[in-house]
């Protein structure tokens, strides 16, 4: 008799469990999970984009700085050559010991150097203009990303390490996550936990 009651209780418990599962709307739960996964994928892709932007920005700054340095050195070298030619021309003119053809040759060389110097200055100006256009736009994207998440990332880390600092209202929290030892959903939950929902 006691076993009959136990079986009836077990059957009632099973029916209640089936009823609970049916009422929990698995499609809705799956939809929420898919939505959560999409948010994580979007966050990961955004982090990759910002990382690449900052790497490109650093490369642009390095290349531009080297080009400007090279052009400045070339400009100084040409200025010295120009001064030397001008001095030679003055000396030759003063002593009246050069022929007309030699004088014309030196004048052409002088004019050629002046033209080259002007072209170098124009090129240097164009490089500086390109720099002022490209770098601020990349910096703007990175600043917008930081303003939204309040997370300042470190970009010189291995690909599987997410490292940075979240600057909350009252507390700065370090972030150091090995993505190979945790699921993407766990990582997403932790990162989204830092982002304030107050706008």
Tokens at residue 19, please? 């009823």
Please say if the pLDDT value at position 24 is more than 60. no
Residue 38's pLDDT band (cuts 50, 70, 90):
confident
* Residue 106 burial class via C-beta count within 10 angstroms: exposed 0-12, middle 13-18, buried 19 and up: middle
Answer yes or no: is pLDDT of 5 > 60: no
DSSP-derived secondary structure for 117-160: HHHHHHHHHHHHHHHHHHHHHHHHHHHHHHHHH-EEE--SS-TT
Q: Are 120 and 78 in contact (CB under 8 A)?
A: yes
Distance from C-alpha of 198 to C-alpha of 150, rounded to nearest angstrom: 13
User: Tens digit of pLDDT for each residue in 125-144?
Assistant: 776 666 555 556 666 666 77
């Amino acid at each position: 008799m006691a076993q009959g009651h136990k079986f009836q209780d077990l059957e009632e418990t099973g029916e209640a469990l089936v009823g609970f599962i049916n009422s929990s709307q698995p499609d809705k739960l799956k939809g929420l999970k898919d939505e959560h996964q999409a948010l994580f994928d979007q966050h990961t892709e955004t982090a990759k984009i910002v990382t690449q932007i900052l790497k490109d920005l650093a490369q642009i700054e390095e290349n531009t700085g080297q080009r400007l340095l090279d052009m400045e050195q070339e400009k100084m070298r040409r200025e010295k050559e120009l001064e030397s030619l001008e001095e030679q021309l003055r000396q030759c003119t003063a002593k009246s010991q050069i022929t007309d053809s030699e004088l014309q040759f030196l004048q052409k060389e002088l004019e050629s150097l002046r033209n080259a110097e002007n072209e170098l200055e124009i090129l240097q100006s164009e490089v500086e203009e390109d720099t002022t256009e490209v770098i601020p736009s990349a910096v703007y994207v990175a600043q917008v990303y930081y303003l939204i998440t309040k997370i300042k990332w470190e970009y010189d880390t291995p690909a599987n390490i997410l490292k940075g600092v979240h600057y909350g209202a009252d507390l700065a929290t370090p972030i150091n996550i090995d993505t190979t030892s945790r699921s993407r959903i766990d990582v997403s939950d932790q990162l989204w936990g830092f982002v304030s929902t107050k706008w």
